[in-house]
Structure 1
Amino acid sequence: MQFFKWLRVRVIKLSNWVLMAMTFTLVFFSSLIMVIIEPETFTSLFESLWWVMTTVTTVGYGDISPTSVGGRIYAMFLYIIGIGLIGVVIGKVVDSFGAFRRRKEEGLLAYKGNGHIVIIGWSRKAKFAIEEILQTENFREIVIIDQLKKAPFLHEHVHYVKGDPAEQDVLMQANLQEAAAVLLFADGSIQDPLLTDGKTLLIVTTIERISPEIHSTVEILNEEHIKNFRHVDVDEFILSNETISRLAVRSAISNGISKIFSQLMSHGIGDNLYEIPSRKEWRTYKDAFEDLLQEGATLISDGDKMDINRRLNETLYPDSRLFVICDKETFDKIKRKS
């Protein structure tokens, strides 16, 4: 008993590659030796391999079995050694899957994909952002960076990287260089807006140094701090406190306007805001406006230029970023035609 206990402990401590090599060697050797010992029963190498596999995996169909003394003696050896070895291998495989899942949930695995969106800083705003992304583009992969013990959002398209986003290694682990965009939320655990925006600036500086071409959207608490971000190439700023305050004022002055903003900002039921590509046949904004109107969509802006009604006769360029208001079905039809 002590020998088998010692042997089991030794086998468990072996590396996975050594165990796999030992298993394949045992299976191949056993298949070959049974053909030699008992050729009348095991007429081919495949017949022998079939018996060995059903034996070591304890399936035991009984459709073929050794009948000679030599064959049965070797079968007893295979029962003791082979079944134990296969059991250890199966256990190792199961453990490796469990370890992989734990490492993924704990944010210890590097993300290798591309075209993903990196979200830095977990909060309720980050949760809403992820839900909106998944609802808008259900194929889009998302990588969250934070210092939580486990992944805060479990989804097949959402990945987690644990670490300080101001550190280059952590951003590299999220494969920032291959990402399509990065969305940075302010740290809600810091009470002082000055310190919060200071941390944001540090992270943004690291992001732009690693991937200067990436599209970055950054949340800032104090509008006066934007001038401190001028030396970094941030694409868009979100002033969350100012936006909420102004929306509240607009809603108080014009009853119901907040519902319009909410609907346009979230791809829920009804008409929403979508970006569409320009078409070759559109020479002016008027061409695009009239065609889209016939298709059930309203053209409202080219990028941040919302005065389309005063630009109808101006030239529309191929790289224009056109935004329309329509429902999801109309948007899908427009995409197919573009």
Structure 2
Amino acid sequence: MKSDERVIYFYDLAVTARTEHANLPPVRSLLEVIAAERAAGRFRTAGDRAGNLWHFLGPIEFDEDNQTATILIRSSDKRSPEYGYSNVNDGTLRLLEKDNHEGGDAAAHLVVSLLPADPDTYIAVLEGVSGLSHRNVISLFNNLLTAFYANNPSHFTYPDPAGAKTRNGDIKRHEVKPKFKLIGHISDQLHQDIENGTIGDIELRNGRVNSTIGNDPFIRSKSFRLTLSVQADIPKANVLERLVTAIQSKHATYDRAKIHFVDQTGHPKTVEIDVTTGAVEQSYVQARRISAVFPPLRMTTDVILSRVSDPMKEMLIEYRG
């Protein structure tokens, strides 16, 4: 990652809930909730059980004119090594020591459209930063929302779909606790690699199982897999969409999938797919590059940097149309 450029990835930020037929609040309402949590001092969540990885919610800025929100997300990993810088003229080394309660910090900007592209779905662009993925962002947001709902279960409600009423004659309302999902826009490169390459097997995996084998309490199942084959003569038009549709049809049983293929240059590759959402890993998410950033960027920041967020906002507005 160079100090004067960033890669920006395109996502759909979806507002979801377990309850079917619920009227979900707009994305702004959820962002205002986590912004209020930050203002109240509730701005961090643990990224692992050992307490080595932490995610922090930074500033949130709403742009009324352009109908966007800009959020800074940070991650700190206590397991990261100490940084060192060497003098290129004489070779001397300067090490930056960290305390026991400190971790290597990474920060990324996220810009979200406040105008829906589809029902309950909003375009978002995320700054690509090593050590901070879209999964970290969603983990932070949803953990903050979960903590909020624990104390405010009736903050979001929706009217009964069948029109049921209370004893007082009012329309009955139900609680709903919406969360977020980030789903990457599949890149043209993946379409080209799949359509012009050779498709191998597809592996579906369920890593959520945890049951004993043969009634032995010391031997437990960890996961199970299903392997799919793809006929060599499958029509290549929209083939990726067909594969993803087939994969998602198994979402009740499996959570992850891998498509093995040989690309058009003869290199074997694998792409991982989220079975529930159809999302792909970041290397195959649609992306654009910001170049010639000045002043150069540091490894991290605790404030929103307009020289990064403004070009991201322009990309989003152009993409949104």
**TM-score normalised per structure 2:** 0.21
**Higher RCO, Cα 8 Å, sep 6+:** 2
Larger-gyration structure (1/2)? 1
Higher relative helix content: 1
Higher relative strand content: 2
